[in-house]
């Protein structure tokens, strides 16, 4: 096999049109072998003799896209000292841009013999391993442009590639559960109907199925078990996995961009699929264990585990950091991805023991000219000490706001003493973000996500029902802040069903009309249920997929209508926090940009906030008080709005405020009746807000006069334009 010296950069397998450059980092290796595989499994080993800065490399002029490969690392094996090289273990390239096959969890994949963790196993693992695939970087993007939707205009839709499309009747069967399925016109049309601006895909980096789940007849459905940070998951490809997944993924991004929809990836950079010291040797462990993983300081055969998965990536090592940054840049530049949601992001801030918001990883993101221009969303917690860091990430970042989720759930199920925090959460959580110079959009608001109950289940179950997971219902969160509305699970009681429908509308309307960035979990707008299972990570089945044959059409139409209201009115997507200061534009009384109102229409007093039984409140949003400018530099103005929230068990009458706020109001949303269609209500009058419901009113504006489209009127216009000459030709 002819091999030229090649280059140490870029890492991975890089095809240039004539041949392929291979480069891999290992500081601990004594020798590195590139292993090329034919279709029949025949292996050809090519020693990499060139080494620069611990990067081993070679250029092979005859290697084309589609070539399958792996590596073998010859070096020291001393787990007690943190090194685990074994030339008998075939290793996946950490920079592989596509992966073929899956692992089978056979004994040769492990560095020790089952039953004796201190032994060494030298069985060859090649026939049990997945392989890297050389890919072509060339693709016709057809003038693709990223939508670059600003945060304040963004509506995120969290979705699973397979769960979103597997049962969709309009998607061809061979495309269901794939990237091509997500790009299907019927799926895109649904997203557009909802007003979605970004789809956030659950993990699509190549991941590994857990053996413990496979033994139970289950699988790692969610995919939070990454082994390849550059490769799209091969099982989500409709045309095979020999590198075609890259082309299909790019085509999906191109079609979503054409529809104005951004693509955000849920990425798992905090750990890998190799697990703890008893896990298999698949890639990083055999290449350079100490460089890629956080090891216990005094017992280096063991791994630091801030993730609950057995290991944590070593963000203190420059080559591990380079891996993360190279991966992010690759997906942003080569795959045209628009942003990233970082799973257990607090782990990436642990350079030493505590979480450090100024850690090197965040500094690298801040200064990187590519990564810093993407959407960066943190899941701001991990399972380590001090891991809950909501509100503490750097200014460039946005965060999943877990406090928003908890507070909104508590308010609508009627928990006492939640008024003050509820008010803070729906106005952008300034208590969490304003002091660090961030804006309301730093808060990614959500009520439900992949982890936990669906929205329908949130209002249908008090307890989790995870028996199908095979862990005696011990897995999953037990404190869900849910309420079944009077009956556990399915029921025929019309009163319970009506209340559940109302509560779903309450949650979705609150979410979409709160300041910040709303995120909808896929299927919540359709009434999707998981039958009370709040942890379907292992359920690759109809339990977790969207059932497109059981769509709650009224709920879908309601969500689309509320989102249109949000899109049309900048008052619901402000770029700055409310400050409560009076605003005067033109004539009339100066009014604050926001005012919280009591039942009798007067401003809330401090003692009103302290009421332990307060379950209802009104809020005035001043459309003249946005204090911002549009893209053309003009002041942003809007109509005034009133929103009344009633989480009580009985209807509440609210007195509309004085005419200084508006002389008349139009009801635009009533979650108690699905839609509002009534005559304008005058200032000082009462409106009744049903139990467990909310009403949105907009300052009344007289409808414009209907234009006269008669022929005579048209001729008159022409006469004016032609200086009196009536031209009827």
Residues designated as active site: 343, 379
Residue 20 and residue 15: Cα distance in Å, rounded? Answer: 4
113 secondary structure, DSSP code: B
Q: Is 190 exposed, middle or buried (0-12, 13-18, 19+ CB in 10 A)?
A: buried
Residue 412 and residue 691: Cα distance in Å, rounded? Answer: 10
| Nearest alpha-carbon partner for 509 in 557, 552, 470, 477 | 557
E runs forming strands in 500-558: 517-521
Q: Is 629 exposed, middle or buried (0-12, 13-18, 19+ CB in 10 A)?
A: exposed
Identify whether the C-beta of residue 680 lies closer than 8 Å to the C-beta of residue 699. no
Residue 726 and residue 718: Cα distance in Å, rounded? Answer: 6
* Consecutive H or E run containing 565: helix 553-568
Identify whether the C-beta of residue 687 lies closer than 8 Å to the C-beta of residue 719. no
Angle between the N-to-C axes of helices 284-292 and 318-333, in degrees from 0 to 180, rounded to the nearest 10? 110
Residue 143 and residue 23: Cα distance in Å, rounded? Answer: 31
* Consecutive H or E run containing 643: strand 641-646
21 pairs with which residues across the strands?
14, 59
- 3-state SS class at 426: helix
Residue 118 and residue 114: Cα distance in Å, rounded? Answer: 10
Beta strands 77-78 and 68-74, pairing class: unpaired
Residue 305 and residue 39: Cα distance in Å, rounded? Answer: 38
Identify whether the C-beta of residue 126 lies closer than 8 Å to the C-beta of residue 43. yes
232 pairs with which residues across the strands?
205
Q: Which two tokens stand for residue 100?
A: 């073929």
Q: How far is CA 625 from CA 527, 579, 592, 621, in A?
A: 37, 10, 7, 8
Residue 425 and residue 401: Cα distance in Å, rounded? Answer: 9
Neighbours of 137 (CB within 10 A): 12
Q: How far is CA 555 from CA 167, 534, 582, in A?
A: 20, 22, 38
């Amino acid at each position: 096999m002819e091999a030229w010296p090649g280059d140490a950069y870029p890492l991975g397998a890089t095809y240039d049109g004539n041949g392929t450059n291979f480069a891999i980092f290992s500081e601990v290796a004594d020798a590195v072998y590139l292993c090329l595989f034919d279709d029949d499994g025949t292996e050809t080993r090519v020693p990499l003799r060139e080494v620069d800065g611990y990067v081993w490399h070679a250029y092979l002029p005859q290697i084309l896209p589609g070539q399958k490969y792996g590596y073998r690392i010859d070096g020291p094996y001393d787990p007690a000292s943190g090194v685990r090289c074994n030339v008998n273990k075939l290793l996946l390239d950490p920079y592989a841009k596509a992966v073929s096959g899956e692992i089978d969890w056979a004994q040769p994949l492990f560095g020790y013999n089952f039953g004796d963790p201190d032994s060494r196993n030298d069985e060859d693992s090649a026939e049990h391993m997945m392989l890297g695939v050389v890919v072509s970087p060339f693709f016709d993007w057809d003038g693709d442009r990223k939508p670059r939707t600003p945060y304040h205009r963004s509506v995120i839709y969290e979705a699973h590639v397979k769960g979103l499309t597997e049962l969709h009747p309009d998607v061809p069967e061979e495309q269901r559960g794939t990237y091509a399925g997500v790009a299907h016109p019927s799926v895109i049309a649904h997203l557009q109907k909802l007003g979605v601006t970004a789809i956030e895909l659950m993990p699509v980096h190549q991941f590994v199925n857990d053996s413990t789940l496979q033994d139970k007849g289950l699988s790692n459905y969610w995919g939070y078990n990454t082994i390849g940070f550059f490769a799209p998951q091969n099982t989500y490809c409709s045309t095979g996995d020999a590198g075609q997944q890259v082309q299909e993924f790019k085509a999906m991004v191109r079609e979503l961009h054409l529809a104005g929809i951004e693509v955000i990836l849920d990425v798992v950079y905090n750990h890998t699929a190799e697990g703890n010291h008893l896990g298999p040797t698949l890639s990083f462990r055999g290449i350079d264990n100490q460089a890629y993983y956080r090891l216990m300081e005094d017992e280096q055969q063991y791994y630091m585990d801030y993730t609950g998965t057995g290991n944590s990536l070593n963000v203190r090592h420059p080559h591990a950091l380079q891996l993360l940054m190279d991966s992010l840049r690759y997906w942003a530049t080569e795959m045209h991805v628009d942003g990233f949601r970082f799973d257990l992001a607090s782990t990436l801030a642990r350079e030493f023991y505590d979480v450090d918001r100024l850690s090197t990883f965040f500094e690298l993101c801040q200064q990187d000219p590519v990564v810093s221009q993407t959407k960066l969303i943190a899941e701001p917690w991990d399972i380590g000490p001090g891991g809950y860091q909501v509100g503490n990430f750097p200014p460039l970042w946005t965060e999943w706001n877990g406090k928003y989720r908890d507070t909104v759930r508590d308010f609508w199920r009627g928990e006492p003493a939640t008024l003050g925090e509820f008010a803070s959460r729906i106005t952008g959580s300034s208590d969490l973000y304003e002091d660090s110079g961030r804006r309301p959009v730093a808060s990614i608001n959500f009520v439900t996500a992949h982890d936990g109950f669906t929205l329908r289940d949130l209002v249908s179950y008090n307890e989790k029902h995870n028996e199908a997971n095979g862990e005696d219902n011990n897995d999953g969160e037990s404190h869900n802040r849910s309420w079944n509305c009077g009956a556990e699970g399915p029921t025929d009681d019309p009163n319970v069903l009506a209340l559940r429908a109302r509560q779903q509308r309450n949650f979705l309307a609150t979410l979409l009309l709160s300041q910040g960035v709303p995120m909808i979990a896929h299927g919540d707008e359709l009434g999707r249920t998981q039958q009370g299972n709040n942890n379907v990570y292992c359920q690759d089945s109809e339990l977790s997929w969207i059932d497109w044959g059981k769509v709650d059409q009224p709920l879908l139409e309601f969500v689309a209508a509320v989102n249109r209201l949000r899109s049309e009115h900048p008052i619901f997507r402000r770029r700055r926090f409310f400050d409560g200061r009076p605003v005067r534009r033109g004539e009339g009384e100066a009014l604050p940009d926001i005012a919280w109102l009591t039942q009798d229409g007067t401003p809330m007093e401090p003692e009103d906030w302290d009421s332990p039984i307060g379950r209802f409140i009104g809020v005035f949003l001043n459309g003249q008080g946005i204090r911002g400018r549009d893209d053309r530099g003009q002041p942003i103005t809007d109509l005034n709005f009133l929103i009344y929230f009633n989480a009580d068990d009985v209807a509440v009458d609210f007195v509309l405020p004085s005419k200084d706020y508006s002389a008349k109001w139009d009801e635009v949303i009533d979650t108690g009746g699905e839609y509002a269609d009534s005559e304008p209500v005058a200032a000082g009058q009462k409106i009744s807000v049903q139990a467990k419901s909310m009403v949105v009113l907009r300052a009344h504006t007289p409808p414009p006069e209907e234009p006269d489209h008669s022929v005579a009127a048209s001729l008159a216009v022409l006469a004016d334009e032609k200086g009196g000459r009536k031209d009827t030709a």
